[in-house]
Structure 1
């Protein structure tokens, strides 16, 4: 006897997500008429029979979206998560939020729990590591899943990726430092071998090569404490350095703190630029130049992208880069 067709078989035949089929079965008004007809056609062709009593047992989890974040201690990721959650809530979806704290084993555990509890879709800012195990489980579940802000799985056809244009941001920042007269520019922070570090460094390398300047790269944890110690080490070992582009604003704020310990301040003698433009950047003294990613707008945009995929079967492009801009303040003038 042939195996009874499943909701996943229907989704595959109709070219939509599993969650879209579920919405059709629930007679949800969120599904377009054309999509609804395609799903019903697929059900008829496959001979799929809807078990309503079993579905009713799962009904409490309808409209549940998982939001998995690598580091909620960082205000950049917190603002993204808040904006995405509020946008999902405005459309009637509940959000399950988890912080993986850059721990791939915890990420795998969190993902498994969310899938077990029947989330309809996922937005993941992933920790690096255990990619096959983590994303393999999601692929088997067949639910719409976005990778955002950093790419861990290379399979962007299955797990579309979106992020601000980090390479452009680092290019704009480095160009401004060179135009301001800096000639010994360091890149501080970011862990080696991480895709997001390479992207945030790409424009820096490109601009220095074009200007005939030598790069100085000090990789490290993207935290304030590391930035503070890095500035002290930079002053001792590379006293000729006259500017720095930092992996993120937390590192840059730590560098500013380290300069204060040395009796210096960012500005004409040492130009300093961060990345992300978190709220504290504008409030610091002196105010910190930074690459603005409009992370709140990005969060709302990703929520909308996921819901179009979930409700209408509109799959996002494999890769999407969103605009950035350089905000020049006192620290790099």
Structure 2
């Protein structure tokens, strides 16, 4: 019986690395550390592995795959980002392999592992919270470039760069607008306590109120319509002096519009609301919703270009990239009279 020829899987097992790392070494990728490269080469020599370049060329279709891992595709903000990113990658000759983790860190680690095994060239991740090492440790061992987007959980930004709209500037713009519009007490509504994205979206709010000599009021909670609807009732019954709200995102703000309608509170005249993200629904609801516009479609296209340049030109992204935002004022925060 003819002895079986060693495969790339055998090399990976012998070297103690992933199959995709061995593949990067065989393609002479600059993304692999020199000590890892030497370790893989030694394993190849030890087990007698011979690289079949012709066969590798037949598998080269996977070289154009980008792993796109999103924490919540049910949220229109993330859906618009993923769609614009996928279209921009297609225009550059790359395909996106997409997964929704539904805020489940274990599922995230699972899909990232599967994408590594299928030979993705890079990752773009809007990560779930918790068990970060299971996801990012696997990517690091595979030596695959990866960007965190929209929210950052892995602090080693030099290894896993982070990009997001300028949340701090956005919350400042929104709060300044509400104060200029005559609000006497402004609440911040939504977002889970202790998370960086909540702190950033609250940061400008706190700064502006401090400068204006106004006391903050924060109602943290799930970034959902249901929480916003409940918060509208709570503010009306428990905090009667509050006459404006900056919401963590548009879903919370849209929920507040519904809650105010239920209790017959006049949004715009009696109570002012500003959302965050400026999803499509903001302009279509009644009253139309003021929101911090993050140009999420443009952001997706920019991230696609950044990652492709990283792969093709070796141009690493900055460790922390923030993109401009603007406030779109609509009926929910101005007196319609």
TM-score w.r.t. length of structure 1: 0.86
Compute the displacement of 1:243 (Å): 0.2
Task: Give the match for residue 193 of structure 1.
Answer: 194
Q: Hey, what does 2:323 align to over in structure 1? A: 322
Deviation for aligned residue 1:52: 1.0
- Partners of 2:312 and 2:252 lie apart in 1 by 40
| Deviation (angstroms), 1:57 | 5.8
CA deviation digits over 1:12-68, x for unaligned, max 9? 9x8x335xxxxxxxxxxxxxxxxxxxxxxxx9xxx9x85414524642312011100
Structure number with the bigger relative contact order (C-alpha 8 A, sep ≥ 6) is 1
* Mapping of residues 225-244 of structure 1, within 5 Å: 225-244=226-245
What is aligned with 2:11? none
Structure 2 unaligned residues grouped into runs of 5+: 1-14, 16-20, 33-40
Other-structure match for 2:274: 273
DSSP 3-state at the match of 2:125: strand
Structure 1 position 78, deviation (Å): 0.3
SS of 1:62's equivalent?
helix
Matching residue of 1:224: 225
2:114 pairs with 1:113: yes
Gaps of 5+ in 1: 19-42
SS at match of 2:102: coil
Tell me the residue number matched to 1:82: 83
Q: Secondary structure at the match of 1:153?
A: coil
Give 1:249's aligned residue. 250
Residue 140 of structure 2 corresponds to residue 139 of structure 1 = yes
The residue aligned with 1:21 is none
Runs of 4+ in 1 over 4 A off after TM superposition: 5-12
What's 1:291 paired with? 292
* 1:256/1:265 contact within 8 Å kept: no
Deviations 1:1-22 (A, max 9, x none): xx8x96656899x8x335xxxx
Aligned length: 301
2-structure distance, mates of 1:265, 1:76: 27
In the TM superposition, what are the counterparts of 1:29-178 in structure 2 within 5 Å? 51-53=52-54, 55-56=56-57, 58-178=59-179
TM-score between both structures, scaled by the size of structure 2: 0.85
Q: Match for residue 179 of structure 1? A: 180
Distance 1:300 1:114 in 2: 22
Q: Distance in 2 between matches of 1:319 and 1:185?
A: 30
Q: Does 1:304 align with 2:283?
A: no
The separation in 1 between residues aligned to 2:220 and 2:101, in whole angstroms, is 22
CA RMSD of aligned residues (A): 2.1
The 2-side partners of 1:125 and 1:183 are apart by 36
